């Protein structure tokens, strides 16, 4: 096997592994409701967090945010919201993200 | 008030028992397919399958009196104003059949293992059926996880079909959209997710899988009709003038001032433009939309209802009924009039359209729209019409055209907060919303 083939194989493995990590199992429709209820108070146009809609990020950016950056989010909302609810919100934002098959501006 | 309390207490009790039953103890999986899940359910719930299989959610038909004669009627043979008929399109339509594998007439309606328990009893919100495989769930569904988390149905289970039929969110009813999954009080005071949080069964009282409520198109006999008086008194207002209205005016008339809140509803479907390569004029992609497969559709939000007398029963267009193509044919319409003392003024959505018909035999055509030989794939009217008529066994003259239609839909959901209920002048004012002449009044009944 040449190094090129190896590299390709490695890339494929990495790629499938990372796409397999995409969020699944959350309740997207409940997530929409929870996003409105828990997040839009600060994330509407003119709000203190600035406007955020599912289309503000790509699918993988949303997953990365929930995995890595949510701990650093200002305030207690991410600490006080149950894990299951955050998963539903993540699922909604992912499923309706800018590069998803059905992007959504509302929420 | 007492009645309300009793209903709430029962709802609470039911929900407690439902949540208390953790199925993960006895459902393990893995499951080969969805039917294997059903087999596991049947180990304890065989009787439930028996009773479920007698309901229209399974049979898609019910013996009833229609237009004055006894007959079988249901989604199996009804004509609507959207995708029109199911007969040759089962593979697609079965997405909303609570069963697995109804692709054609060979489907075995006695096979319990084909009952889809999960579409109504999934509590994870991750169970989805597909539009192209006769009602089997999508491949990505984790059957073991869903099966371990079954429970009493919530709104989201019902809306998965009842909000999505007819070509998208809130397309058909106008008052049943996905917004009802978790609505605010402003959308519906009863279902308000942070308030009353009524589930569908709170009003659509259910026993042995028999769910009450009567859709005009498939239950024109008004069987198992439900009413506001299950909880509210016949004279619920503190004002006598308002109470005197309840004899001839349905509660919904004043308490649902607009429908299609948040989610737009389809108001018109013109099939005559389907198949065209170039869109017709006037398409803006939002209100008026065009697709080569489906033709032109008009979608609107926050609609003021139309009003008509309604005694709980309806008339419908039946397969083979003769039409006059120069007038509008009503596919479903309310029965009752001003001199029918059992009728009340009721709000409706009137969905209009143009449907394909046989220009010699003068009846509507059961078109074949789905599949590789269907209109949505071939864009070939000649061919799809022929296949559709062969399937339904309706004689076809060989010539088709398009005729105007309309279909009434009851408006019962999206009950507004009482501050938004209609006031006197909304109907009796100079610019009032009632067409008194059409309702049979000589003049605005306020001016005696």
Model confidence over B133-148: pLDDT tens digits?
Answer: 999 999 999 999 999 9
Smallest Cα–Cα separation from B173: which of B184, B158, B185? Answer: B158
Nearest CA in chain A to B263: A106
Considering only CB atoms, which chain A residues are within 8 Å of B142? 25
* pLDDT average, residue stretch B235-249: 95
Contact (CB<8Å) B125/A37: no
Which among A27, A90, A105 is the top mutation candidate for probing chain B, defined by the most B β-carbons within 10 Å of its own β-carbon?
A: A27
Domain ranges of chain B: 61-96+152-428
**Burial class of residue B145 (count of CB atoms within 10 Å of its CB; 0-12, 13-18, 19+):** middle
C-alpha B125/C-alpha A89 separation (Å) is 13
* Pick from A25, A26, A33: CB nearest B181: A33
**Three-class SS state of B200:** helix
- Residue A10's domain spans which residues? 3-95
Q: How far is A6 from chain B (nearest CA, A)?
A: 30
Average pLDDT value over all residues in chain B: 94
* pLDDT average, residue stretch B63-70: 96
Question: Does any domain span residue A12?
Answer: yes
Structure tokens that stand for B289 in this block: 């939309």
Which among A24, A30, A96 is the top mutation candidate for probing chain B, defined by the most B β-carbons within 10 Å of its own β-carbon?
A: A30
Q: How confident is the model at residue B313 (pLDDT cuts 50, 70, 90)?
A: very high
Percentage of chain B beyond pLDDT 70 is: 95
Interface predicted TM-score (ipTM) over 0.90: no
pLDDT the model gives residue B169:
96
Q: In Å, what is the CA distance from A69 to each residue of A47, A66, A73, B175, B333?
A: 20, 6, 7, 40, 56
pLDDT the model gives residue B412:
98
- The domain tally of chain A equals 1
The pLDDT of residue A14 is above 50: no
Which among B125, B151, B155, B194 is the top mutation candidate for probing chain A, defined by the most A β-carbons within 10 Å of its own β-carbon?
A: B125
Cis peptide leading into residue B30 (ω within 30°): yes
Q: How far is A9 from chain B (nearest CA, A)?
A: 25
Contact (CB<8Å) A24/B178: no
Check if A27 contacts B (Cβ < 8 Å). Answer: yes
**Burial class of residue B344 (count of CB atoms within 10 Å of its CB; 0-12, 13-18, 19+):** buried
> Do you know the residue count of chain A?
107
* Pick from B125, B145, B194: CB nearest A30: B125
Q: How far is A32 from chain B (nearest CA, A)?
A: 9
* pLDDT average, residue stretch B322-338: 98
Q: Which of residues 29-58 of A touch B (CB under 8 A)?
A: 29-30, 32-33, 37
Nearest CA in chain B to A106: B262
CA torsion B194-B96-A101-A26 (nearest 10°) is 40
* pLDDT average, residue stretch B63-81: 97
Considering only CB atoms, which chain A residues are within 8 Å of B125? 26-30, 88
Structure tokens that stand for A103 in this block: 């992007």
Percentage of chain B beyond pLDDT 90 is: 92
C-alpha B413/C-alpha B410 separation (Å) is 9
Q: How far is A33 from chain B (nearest CA, A)?
A: 6
pLDDT the model gives residue A6:
57
The pLDDT of residue A17 is above 60: no
Q: How confident is the model at residue A10 (pLDDT cuts 50, 70, 90)?
A: low
The pLDDT of residue B275 is above 90: yes
Contact (CB<8Å) B124/A27: yes
Question: Does any domain span residue A100?
Answer: no
pLDDT the model gives residue B317:
98
Nearest CA in chain A to B154: A30
* pLDDT average, residue stretch B399-423: 98
C-alpha B103/C-alpha B90 separation (Å) is 5
| CATH of residue A77 | 1.10.760
Question: Does any domain span residue A65?
Answer: yes
Contact (CB<8Å) A27/B142: no
* pLDDT tens digits for range B3-57: 665 555 555 444 444 444 789 888 988 999 999 999 999 999 999 999 999 999 9
Q: How far is A1 from chain B (nearest CA, A)?
A: 34
Check if B193 contacts A (Cβ < 8 Å). Answer: yes
Question: Does any domain span residue A22?
Answer: yes
Contact (CB<8Å) A30/B178: no
Contact (CB<8Å) B182/A29: yes
pLDDT the model gives residue B269:
98
Q: How far is B135 from chain A (nearest CA, A)?
A: 21
Smallest Cα–Cα separation from B186: which of A36, A86, A92, A85? Answer: A36
Which among B182, B188, B197 is the top mutation candidate for probing chain A, defined by the most A β-carbons within 10 Å of its own β-carbon?
A: B182
Question: Does any domain span residue A105?
Answer: no
pLDDT the model gives residue B3:
60
C-alpha B302/C-alpha A72 separation (Å) is 40
**Three-class SS state of A71:** helix
Contact (CB<8Å) A24/B194: no
Check if B164 contacts A (Cβ < 8 Å). Answer: no
Question: Does any domain span residue A103?
Answer: no
pLDDT the model gives residue B13:
47
Considering only CB atoms, which chain B residues are within 8 Å of A35? none
Q: How far is A88 from chain B (nearest CA, A)?
A: 9
pLDDT the model gives residue A20:
44
pLDDT the model gives residue B32:
96
Q: How far apart are the two ends of chain A, measured CA to CA in Å?
A: 50
Q: How far is A4 from chain B (nearest CA, A)?
A: 33
The pLDDT of residue B419 is above 80: yes
């Amino acid at each position: 096997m040449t190094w090129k083939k190896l590299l390709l194989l490695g890339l494929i493995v990495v790629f499938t592994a990372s796409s397999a990590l995409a969020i699944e199992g959350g309740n997207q429709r409940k997530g929409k409701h929870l996003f409105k209820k828990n997040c839009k108070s600060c994330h509407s146009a003119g709000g203190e967090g600035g406007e955020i809609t599912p289309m503000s990020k790509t699918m993988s950016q949303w997953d990365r945010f929930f995995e890595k950056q949510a701990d650093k989010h200002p305030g207690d909302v991410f600490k006080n919201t149950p894990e299951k609810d955050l998963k539903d919100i993540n699922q909604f934002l992912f499923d309706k993200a800018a590069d998803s098959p059905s992007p959504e501006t509302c929420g | 008030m007492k009645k309300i309390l009793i209903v709430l207490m029962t709802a609470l009790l039911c929900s407690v028992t439902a949540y208390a039953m953790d199925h993960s103890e006895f459902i393990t999986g893995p499951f080969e397919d969805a039917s294997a899940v059903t087999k596991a359910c049947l180990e304890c719930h065989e009787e439930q399958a028996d009773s479920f299989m007698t309901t229209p959610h399974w049979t898609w038909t019910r013996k009833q009196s229609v237009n004055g004669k006894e007959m079988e009627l249901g989604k199996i043979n009804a004509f609507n104003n959207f995708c029109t008929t199911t007969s040759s399109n089962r593979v697609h339509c079965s997405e909303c059949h609570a069963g697995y594998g109804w692709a054609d007439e060979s489907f075995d309606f006695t096979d319990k293992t084909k009952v889809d328990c999960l579409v109504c009893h999934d509590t994870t919100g991750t169970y989805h059926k597909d539009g192209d495989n006769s009602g089997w769930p999508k491949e990505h569904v984790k059957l073991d996880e869903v099966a371990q988390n079954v429970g009493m149905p919530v709104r989201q289970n019902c809306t998965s079909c009842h909000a999505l039929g007819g070509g998208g969110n809130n397309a058909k009813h106008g008052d049943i959209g996905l917004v009802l999954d978790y609505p605010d009080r402003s959308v519906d005071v009863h279902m308000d997710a942070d308030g009353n949080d009524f589930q569908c069964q709170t009003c659509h009282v259910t026993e042995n899988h028999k769910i009450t409520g009567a859709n005009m198109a498939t239950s024109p006999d008004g069987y198992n009709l439900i009413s506001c008086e299950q909880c509210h008194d016949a004279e619920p207002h503190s004002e006598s003038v308002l109470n005197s209205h309840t004899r001839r005016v349905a509660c919904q008339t004043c308490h649902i001032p607009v429908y299609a809140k948040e989610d737009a509803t389809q108001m018109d479907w013109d099939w005559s433009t389907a198949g065209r390569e170039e869109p017709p004029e006037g398409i803006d992609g939002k209100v008026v939309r065009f697709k080569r497969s489906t033709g032109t559709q008009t979608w609107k939000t926050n609609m003021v209802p139309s009003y008509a007398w309604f005694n709980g029963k309806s008339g419908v267009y039946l397969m083979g009924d003769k039409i006059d193509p120069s007038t509008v044919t009503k596919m479903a319409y309310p029965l009752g009039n001003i001199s029918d003392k059992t009728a009340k003024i009721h709000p409706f959505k009137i969905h209009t359209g143009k449907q394909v018909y046989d220009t010699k035999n003068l009846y509507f055509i059961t078109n074949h729209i789905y599949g590789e030989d269907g209109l949505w794939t071939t864009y070939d009217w000649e061919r799809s019409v022929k296949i559709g008529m062969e399937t339904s066994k309706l004689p076809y003259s060989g010539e088709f055209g398009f005729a105007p239609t309309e279909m009434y839909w009851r408006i019962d959901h999206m009950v507004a907060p009482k501050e938004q209920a209609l006031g006197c002048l909304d109907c009796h004012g100079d610019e009032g919303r009632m067409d008194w002449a059409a309702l049979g009044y000589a003049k605005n009944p306020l001016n005696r």
